[in-house]
Amino acid sequence: MIAKMKKITLFMSEHDVEADLTVLGNLGVMHIKPYQTAEDESINRIYAHIQHMEEAISILERYDNYPLPRHNHNAELKFSDKPKGEIALMEQVLHTEEVRNQKIELANKLQNIKQWYNDWGSVSISEIKKLKEQGIYLKLYLIIDDALLKLASRNDIVVVGKLDNKNQVVLITENSNEKLDFDEIEIPTYRFSTLEDIIKQTNLEIEEAEKQLQTLHAQSSLLKFALEEWVSRHAVRNVQYGGIDIDNQFRYWKGYIPEQSINDFISKADKHNWGYLIQDPTEEELDEVPTLISSPKWVKRIRPVMNFMGLVPGYNEMDVSKVFLIFFTFFTGILVGDAGYGFIFLILTLFIHSRKNTTALNFFITCN
């Protein structure tokens, strides 16, 4: 059945409003209808914290099935006993992940540079730099045969090789702004002689970041607990600034509460010095009154089906879950019964035909 609701106008002191709203939320009996859109800088800050916390948790979840590194080289990173340890842990996770991503990006870049040297040969970057200092510029291009024919008359063009179906062309010029009408191939700044060492060092740094994140994963429960608190705080702030402020002294809200929970609410309100006005909803307010369905255990079994079908009544409508359960039970029984009868007749028919005539049995199976 649909629980009868009462309208409450609730007043709280601005001084204790956050703690009082937390108490009200834990009581879990009042559905608040905000008077206005909640807007405050603190809401944005808390939401940013929530996003960062969720990002840090998501990063650590990659290591759910990873064993803890044998050598805990970050033993000093114990955040649970530190003031605001959850914030420090979150920042450490995000920083380590940022370093890891930067190193992965660098590793990919170095692999591309290594491929560049494989394609263009062991070019001396220092020699190219010396030529540039002397006013001679080298610019590299990949040009197909037909386009290269149009440049055959130029004496500042040198073909040094072929890559796939394109010619590797070097433009030698004293004008730094001179270019060919093709995409220029960038010359790397890393020397070939030091490239392998840099690649190895970068991979070690990636591995180090991975190990650190695996170690931090052991404290991920601290972040999850903190996230719950931040989400709760965000909800409280939204309710807080959805109420009407009175001279920075009080705030008030409108809400609805089940009639059977009134005594619990009054007991809590009197204890915390809340002001309240309890009334019946007006006819104009019936559409906004939330629906709380309280059903006996035997009817609760049909509730998932009702929710799946979207059959949730409004406050001023009838709850048909009991009727639907009775109908659904008989309907299901009829379907199961018909299927059972049909199966029995099928077995009898096959048995009779098998005893009388094998050919008839084959004909029956073929037709069906």
Mean per-residue pLDDT pooled into runs of 10, the chain (368 residues): 82 90 89 87 93 96 81 60 88 96 96 93 89 94 93 91 93 93 92 92 96 92 93 90 90 89 91 92 80 58 56 57 61 67 72 60 49
Residues 116 and 59 in one domain: yes
Judge if 23 and 7 occupy the same domain.
yes
pLDDT reported for residue 323: 60
**What 3-state DSSP class applies to 12?**
strand
> Is residue 81 in some structural domain?
yes
| C-alpha pair distances (Å), 238 with each of 34, 67, 246 | 9, 40, 17
Question: Can you give the pLDDT at residue 60?
Answer: 95
Asked if the structure places residue 198 within a domain, the reply is: no
| 81's tokens | 């006993």
Would 129 be classed as within a structural domain? yes
Same domain, 208 and 69: yes
223 part of a folded domain: yes
What is the C-alpha to C-alpha distance for residues 231 and 218, in angstroms, rounded to an integer? 22
Q: Within this chain, do residues 214 and 115 fall inside the same structural domain, yes or no?
A: yes
129 and 161 share one domain? yes
Q: Are residues 58 and 74 in the same domain?
A: yes
- Residues 273/24, Cβ–Cβ less than 8 Å: no
Q: Is residue 60 part of a domain?
A: yes
Q: How far apart are CA 339 and CA 352, in angstroms?
A: 20
Residues 212, 160 share a domain? no
Look at residue 291 and tell me if it is in a domain. no
3-state SS assignment for residue 354? helix
Half-sphere exposure of 140 (CA within 13 A, CB side): 17
pLDDT of residue 37: 87
pLDDT of 205 reads: 96
Is 130 in the same domain as 108? no
The sign one gets for the Cα dihedral 59, 60, 64, 66 is positive
Give the range of the structural domain holding residue 247, as residue numbers without chain letter.
1-36+243-283
Please indicate, yes or no, whether residues 136 and 262 belong to a single structural domain of this protein: no
The Cα 122–Cα 117 span in angstroms is 6
180 and 208 fall within a common domain: no
Does residue 322 form part of some domain? yes
13, 241 Cβ separation under 8 angstroms: no
**Cα gap 28→291, rounded to integer Å:** 15
pLDDT at 196: 93
Helix axes 220-240, 17-27, angle to 10 degrees: 110
Show the DSSP H helices in 218-261 as ranges.
Answer: 220-240
Domain presence at residue 53: yes
236 and 248 inside one domain: no
Give the SS3 label for residue 2: strand
DSSP state of 293: B
Distance CA 353, CA 131 (A): 99
pTM across the whole model: 0.68
Extract the runs of DSSP E, i.e. beta strands, from the chain: 5-13, 31-33, 137-143, 157-163, 166-173, 184-185, 244-246, 250-258, 275-279
> For the chain, how many structural domains are there in total?
4
Q: Say yes or no: 171 and 147 in one domain.
A: yes
